[in-house]
Amino acid sequence: MTALKSLRIIYSDELIELPECFWCLKSLQSLQVSDCSAIRVLPESLGELQSLQELTIDECNSLTSLPQSVGRLTSLRSLNVNSCSSISSLPDSLGELQSLQQLTVGRCKTLSSLPQSVVCLTSLRVLRISCCDDAFHELPERLGELRSLRIFHIEGLRALACLPESMCRLTSLEDLRIEDCPGIESLPEGIKDLTALQELRIWDFPDLARRCESRKGEDWHLVSHIPGLYIF
C-alpha cells in the first residue's frame, strides 16, 4: 500500500469516516472521495500525505468541514470541493498551500465565503467558484494579492453584491467570467488596468450589459481594451 499513487473512494452510502491510517500512504498523488453521502469527517492524518498533488471531494453531503491539516499538503496542486452541501466554511490553513495552482469550489450551498487566507496562495493560477446559492456573499477584499492568477470564474453566486476593488492588481489575469450573479451591478473601476486580460464573459446581466455597451455604455471605457468581450 505504501507505493499506491491513486485512490478513489466512491459510491459508498454506509462509510461514515475514513481511517486514520492515511499517514502510511506516502506515495499517494491523487485522492478522490465521491458520492459518500454518510461521511462526516476526513481524518487529520490527511495532512501527512506529502506526495498528494490532487484532492477531489465530491457529493459528500454529510461532510461539514475539511481538516485543518490540509494546510500541510505541501505538494498539492489541485483542490476540488463540489456538491458538499453541509460545508459552511473552508479551513484557514488553506492559505498555507504554496504549491496550489487550481482551486475549484462548486455547489456548496451553505458556504458563505472563502477564508481570507486564500490571498496567500502565491502559486494559484485558476480559481473557480460556482452555484453556492444565497449563502456565498463576499470575496476576499485582498483578492488582488493573487498575482499569479490567470483564470477567475464565478457563477451562480446570487448573494454576491460586488467585486473587490483590489482586483485591479491581478496583473496576470487573462480570463474573467461572471455568470448569474445578479447582485453585481457594476465592475470595479480598476478593471481597466488589467492589461493582460484577454477574455471577459458576463452572462445574464441586462443592466451590466447596458453599462458596457460598445461606445455607448457608461462603463465602456473600463472594458474596451479587452480583445475577447462577451456580454449577454
Instruction: Tell which residue, 51, 10, 43, 62, has the closest CA to residue 27.
Output: 51
User: What is the DSSP code string of 78-117?
Assistant: EEEEES-TT-----GGGGG-TT--EEEEE--TT--B--GG
* pLDDT for residue 209: 82
Alpha-helix runs per DSSP H in the chain = 206-211, 220-223
Sheet with 102-106: list strands edge to edge: 6-10, 30-34, 54-58, 78-82, 102-106, 126-133, 151-157, 175-179, 199-203, 228-231
Instruction: Tell which residue, 110, 59, 63, has the closest CA to residue 89.
Output: 110
> The pTM is what?
0.95
Q: What 3-state class would DSSP assign to 231?
A: strand
Domain ranges of the chain: 65-76+84-231
Kindly report the length of the chain. 232
State residue 118 phi and psi, 5-degree precision. Answer: -65, -20
How far apart are alpha carbons 155 and 214 in whole angstroms? 24
Q: Dihedral sign, CA of 35, 15, 93, 72?
A: negative
* 87-142 tens-digit pLDDT: 999 999 999 999 999 999 999 999 999 999 999 999 999 999 999 878 899 999 99
- Give the DSSP letter of residue 72: G
* pLDDT for residue 1: 63
What's the grid cell of residue 73?
499538503
- One digit per residue, pLDDT tens: the chain, 232 residues? 678 999 999 998 889 888 877 778 999 999 999 999 999 989 999 999 999 999 999 999 999 999 999 999 999 999 999 999 999 999 999 999 999 999 999 999 999 999 999 999 999 999 999 998 788 999 999 999 999 999 999 999 999 999 999 999 999 999 999 999 988 888 999 999 999 999 999 998 778 888 888 888 899 999 999 999 998 8
> What CATH fold (topology level) applies to the domain 65-76+84-231?
3.80.10
* pLDDT for residue 205: 78
CB-CB contact of 33 with 59 (8 Å): no
What DSSP element (H or E) covers 54?
A: strand 54-58
What's the grid cell of residue 161?
453584491
* pLDDT for residue 57: 98
Going by DSSP bridges, is the β-strand pair 175-179/151-157 parallel, antiparallel, or unpaired? parallel
